[in-house]
Amino acid sequence: MGQGLLQIGLTLAVVLIITPIFGKYIANVFMGKTTLLDKVMNPLEKVIYKLADVNPQKNMTGRQYAYSLLQSNLFMGVLVYLLIIFQKVLPWNPNKFGAPRWDLTLHTTISFLTNTGQQHYLGEKTLSHFSSMAGLTFLMFVSAGTGLAVGIAFIRGLTGKPLGNYYADLIRGITRILLPLTIIGAIVLLASGVPQTVGAPIAVETLEGRTQYIATGPVASFETIKLLGTNGGGFFGANSAHPFENPSSFTNLIEIIAMMSIPAAMIFVYGAFSNNIKQAWRLFWMVSLIFLVLLWITAAGEFQGNPLVNSELGLEQPNLEGKEVRFGWAQTALWAVITTATMNGAVNGMHDSLMPAGGFSTLLSMFLHVIWGGIGTGIVYLLIYQYLTAFWAGLMIGSTPEFFGRKITKRSIVLASLVVLIHPIAVLIPSAIALAYPISLSGISNPGFHGISQVVYEYISASANNGSGFEGLTDNTLWWNLSTATSMLLGRYVSICAILLLAGTMANTKPVPAIPATLKTDTLLFTSLTTIVIFILSFLIFFPILINGPLAEAFRLAAQ
């Protein structure tokens, strides 16, 4: 127990040290300040701007920003869909893989385009190296860059600044943040035993005298951007539990830091833009406290183990089902909470094998959507909850609701409410339909309470653009591919459009002078109110699911 807690504590301490520094760097990149990479990237970006016919100094409105984002994402999605369909005739296909079914290809393309990484296939048995590199890796860069651009545009609008230029923000996010860190991370993983090749599978002779083929590929680069960009989709079906994706405790530490680095740093980016580091630290500790509570719940459940198994064995041991022994219960519990808190979706153990406490924490992380959250979008959801808190707090004390010295308007509240409500709509409606047809649609492998968790987890993972799953679900069917693709599109693009329109509205709202009654947003009281609002709006909406899923499963297990 002590060793496991020490591993968790050291990992989180490293994250705490680097995130404020990283946040300052990201803020400098998007605020146009001098950075270390200027001499290298300035000439490169000028060439890209010229080839793309982009004027980086031209500011966009919220509507223009959203239109440019949708247009570019549609083009890139169609391009990658065609690339996967025709992968058989394209290079770097040593296994001679043909095209997957059209619905699986559509689901895969939408999954990586929306920064979800949800997979209904085994990568090593489905996609060529070219499809993985030119298709999925490309989408992981641009989807992460898109989320980062949206987060920066929203922070600008919230603080009364012009929203900026979508194409310039996308390019800066890739060239100055994602690409350099991916190169460094890939080299570190490569030196740690993660393969990077476009060759054919390796043929080896087993002890039984048979021939076994071991799949390899461009794993190191794929793995790095998958974690850094909160994409989550694995090169192999076992994801980061596979020894070629995550071979040791050292790589596990590096990959956890990669998952948390940008989402956590974005809080300090907000502090730099708003010139209010005090509020950034309060938000950071608020989110950290919720995160630590969920981590404690998960770790306690895994350490106590399965009472039915322990009673049969006559001893007390942690729950080791679905885990890699090189990581154990502690690092698996930590990873499970981080990957759902950051909307990453990568796994180093099977979530379907978590104890009910772990299922509760992972589901709740995705329900709340603000415990670090996805790249760029996590800070947006957190700030929208603060915006709604300011609105309700202003009404309760009888003053005109304001946020950052600007009046909160009817239009902005409608848009903020849409961002909050689209998430449960994209989860609860398809979940109800699937559960109404348990034989023909749901595909659950575990009847009862755990089966409910399996179905809801798949849709919450899709809508939250997380991508992880309770892998006992039979999900590679026409229903699951199309329904989860719809949830991914709703959770991603409806939210983004509302976010950008809200950012434009806030940027255009005239500031009003501060008065003694003006509500301060950097106080402990306001931060506490924000926490209450988050749980009222998110937790209570999904509470019936938690009651009928992991909580009921936990009570039933305890009663046996």
Model pLDDT for residues 243-258, shown as the tens digit of each residue: 999 999 899 999 999 9
Residue 364 CA to residue 540 CA, distance in Å, equals 11
One DSSP character per residue, 303-356 reads: HH--HHHHHHHTS-----TTB-TTTHHHHHHHHHHHHHHTT----SB-GGGS-H
* pLDDT at res. 525: 84
Residue 265 CA to residue 376 CA, distance in Å, equals 10
pLDDT for 6 beyond 60: yes
111, 458 in Cβ contact below 8 A?
Answer: no
* pLDDT at res. 97: 93
Instruction: Assign 146 a pLDDT band (cuts: 50, 70, 90).
Output: very high
Q: 222 vs 199, 214, 389, 532, CA distance in Å?
A: 15, 18, 39, 39
pLDDT for 153 beyond 60: yes
pLDDT for 515 beyond 90: no
* pLDDT at res. 392: 84
Q: Measured at the alpha carbon of residue 529, what is the angle toward residues 528 and 534, in degrees to the nearest 5?
A: 100
* Listed residue (519, 527, 529, 526) closest to 400, CA to CA: 519
Instruction: Assign 185 a pLDDT band (cuts: 50, 70, 90).
Output: very high
Instruction: Assign 396 a pLDDT band (cuts: 50, 70, 90).
Output: confident
pLDDT for 27 beyond 90: yes
One DSSP character per residue, 272-296 reads: HHHT-HHHHHHHHHHHHHHHHHHHH
Model pLDDT for residues 431-487, shown as the tens digit of each residue: 999 888 876 676 777 778 888 899 999 999 999 999 888 877 888 899 999 999 999
Mean pLDDT of 222-241: 93
Q: 94 vs 87, 91, 204, 210, CA distance in Å?
A: 11, 8, 17, 21
Q: 81 vs 22, 88, 477, 488, 492, CA distance in Å?
A: 34, 13, 18, 16, 18
Q: 491 vs 31, 121, 457, CA distance in Å?
A: 28, 22, 14
Percent of the chain with pLDDT over 90: 59
Enumerate residues 6+ apart whose C-beta is below 8 A from 325. none
Instruction: Assign 395 a pLDDT band (cuts: 50, 70, 90).
Output: confident
246, 240 in Cβ contact below 8 A?
Answer: yes
* pLDDT at res. 35: 87
* Listed residue (298, 449, 281) closest to 365, CA to CA: 298
Residue 451 CA to residue 121 CA, distance in Å, equals 21
pLDDT for 4 beyond 70: no
Enumerate residues 6+ apart whose C-beta is below 8 A from 258. 181, 185, 224, 227, 228
Q: Give the helix/strand (H/E) hosting 214.
A: strand 211-214
Enumerate residues 6+ apart whose C-beta is below 8 A from 330. 3, 4, 5, 7, 8, 299, 302, 303
Instruction: Assign 3 a pLDDT band (cuts: 50, 70, 90).
Output: low
Instruction: Assign 330 a pLDDT band (cuts: 50, 70, 90).
Output: confident
Rg over CA atoms, the chain:
23
* pLDDT at res. 400: 63
Higher per-residue pLDDT: 318 or 400: 318
pLDDT for 513 beyond 70: no
The reported pTM is 0.94
- For 20-34, 58-72, 203-217, 483-497, which range has the lowest pLDDT when averaged over its residues? 203-217
Domain coordinates of the chain in residue numbers?
A: 2-559
pLDDT for 58 beyond 80: yes
